Amino acid sequence: MPLHVYNTLTRRKEEFKPLHEGRVGMYVCGPTVYGHSHIGHGKSYVSFDIIARYLRYLGYKVLYVQNITDVGHLLDDGEDRMIKQSKIDKVHPMQIAETITRSYFEDMDALGVVRPDISPRASGHIIEQIELVKELLAKGYAYEVNGSVYFDVKKFSDYGRLSGRSFDEMITGTRVETRSEKRNPQDFALWKKADPEHLMRWPSPWGEGFPGWHIECSAMSMKYLGEEFDIHGGGIDNQFPHHECEIAQSVCATGRAFARYWIHNNLVTVNGQKMSKSLGNFVTLKDAFKKFDPLVVRFFILQSHYRSTLDFSDEALQGAKMGLERLMNTIRNLRFQMTQADVKGYTTKAAIDLMRYKSEFLAAMDDDFNSPQAIAILFELSREVNALLNQDGSYSAGSLREIEALYRELGGQILGIITDSPRAVLESNGKLEADLIQLLINLRLLARSEKNWSLADRIRDELKKLGIVLEDKKDGTTWKRA
């Protein structure tokens, strides 16, 4: 079955066909860099990471662009988020942007998110944004008032298609504007005049000002991906108005279709309520990482579908931790047995139908990136592998290597939850450490052979205090970090 993706534009799963054979252009709305990322950001960018990874796995050459919003994202009161934070911290807004951008990448790296190919900053693309606004003015889709430029929503009949609302519907819900300089309340700013005290400002044909929030995504996506490209992603909460506005601006400026597939990920909830910065019920990734390994967080996220909400709780995270542990145990044992089988020269083929697991896994991913389903397949495989490893020598080293390679391909390359190369687990903190632990294991083995249980247990207990857990197996003793 070919890859199918759910397209918000059509509200259906559609077969994915890129604009240009073998290549995919993908744009995802990135963070506004005024505060540390929370679990919700984690879910969003892990979700799109999986999408990018999977497209690449399928052989597409993916160009993944994700913006960094460092200007123009206003609050209710009309204040720029960046500037507000800079006043709180008493530093220049660009310093906030720099600090938080670094923090963002730090967190994403920890989560195993492959970095976008291009991370354009809004403030670095003021010229492109001005050009786009000029184009919209020239074509009559926008109008200038008092040094600000607005998009005339009435000029674009498709406005509301993405979010499924009509012009009239939008009128009823729109709050009263403090500035009534707009022709219609639905009109949105392309360029805003800067008040005298406004810190982030640039010269423009309409005087000193700053770009509207939506225009950056249109300008930067089209700059790097072309006027029409394959995938535009973002949080479902940005469907309206942000993405609706992007479409309006872009389509009107170029006369072309802009993004073909719109992919929206769902939100993280806490006690059933949306987790967001403005509600203040958010858990930052940095805090979460203090309690749980970033990979556990990633695994937790991938255990639900990207279009479903995911309810966050310590209990749920703990469950995910145990689950991932189970998967890692299998792989650890598999890798250990690979070395043993080499030594013992086992030659029997393992009787596991790897192709079946692989095709079931890929079928799940082909169905709108169903990672929870794919993970379930991995667990089923693990059960069979564990059973196999419990049998003495009913496999060859080569067949174990095939199994291990499949884990790396599906769980590693695609899902990014299995990270170590075959031997790295045993040498993760340096060869010397591993050798010392092995030495203690050998001494303990000696004690055990003399039935000196108290000494054997003491070695194990002392190591456990240091965070090293020993497990006695038929073929020897393995260790892992607690």
Using CB under 7 A as the binding rule, the residues of this chain from 7 to 36 that contact RNA are 11, 29-32
DSSP state of 351: -
By CB under 7 A, residue 4 contacts RNA:
no
Residue 278 CB, shortest distance to RNA, in Å, is 4
Q: Which is nearer to RNA, 392 or 435 (CB)?
A: 392
Instruction: State yes or no: residue 221 binds RNA (CB under 7 A).
Output: no
Q: Give the C-alpha separation, 420 to 428, whole Å.
A: 9
Dihedral pair phi/psi, residue 75, rounded to 5°: -90, 175
CA distances from 304 to 152, 295, 391 (A): 40, 15, 34
Question: Given candidates 93, 120, 241, 411, which one binds RNA under the rule CB under 7 A?
Answer: 241
Three-state DSSP state, 357: helix
Under 8 Å between Cβ of 467 and 481: yes
- Smallest CA-to-CA distance from 96 within 115, 79, 81, 77 is with 81
Site for RNA in 105-164 (CB under 7 A): 163-164
User: Which part of the chain contacts RNA (CB under 7 A), choosing from 135-143, 230-238, 410-418, 426-434?
Assistant: 230-238
d(CA 269, CA 399): 43
Between residue 340 and residue 359, which ones bind RNA under the rule CB under 7 A? none
Shortest distance, position 260 Cβ to RNA, whole Å? 19
**Does 73 interact with RNA (rule: CB under 7 A)?**
yes
Q: Which residue has the tokens 């430029």?
A: 149
Alpha-carbon gap, residue 66 to 50, rounded angstroms? 14
Min dist CB 301 to RNA, Å, is: 10
Site for RNA in 260-319 (CB under 7 A): 265, 267-269, 272-279, 282, 300, 303-305, 308-311, 313, 315-316, 318-319
Dist. CA 94–CA 124, nearest whole Å? 11
Is residue 99 within the footprint of RNA (CB under 7 A)?
A: no
Site for RNA in 172-211 (CB under 7 A): 172-175
Choose, by CB under 7 A, the member of 169, 195, 433, 462 that binds RNA.
169
User: Residue 23 or residue 286: which is nearer to RNA going by CB?
Assistant: 286
Q: Are 184 and 154 in contact (CB under 8 A)?
A: yes
Smallest gap from Cβ 28 to RNA, in A, equals: 8
Q: Is residue 369 classed as helix, strand or coil in its secondary structure?
A: coil
- The pair of structure tokens assigned to 424 is 């790295």
Near RNA by CB under 7 A: residue from 237, 342, 409, 420: 237
Minimum CB distance to RNA smaller for 134 or for 249: 249
Residue 382 makes contact with RNA by CB under 7 A? yes
Residues between 435 and 474 that touch RNA (CB under 7 A): 448, 453, 456-457, 460, 469-473
Residue 247 CA to residue 214 CA, distance in Å, equals 10
> What binding mask, one character per residue, do residues 50-69 give for RNA by CB under 7 A, x or -?
-------------------x
Q: How far is the CB of 421 from RNA (least distance, A)?
A: 21
Contacts of 215 (CB under 8 A, 6+ apart): 72, 129, 132, 133, 190, 191, 249
Which residues are 150's β-sheet partners?
A: 143, 189
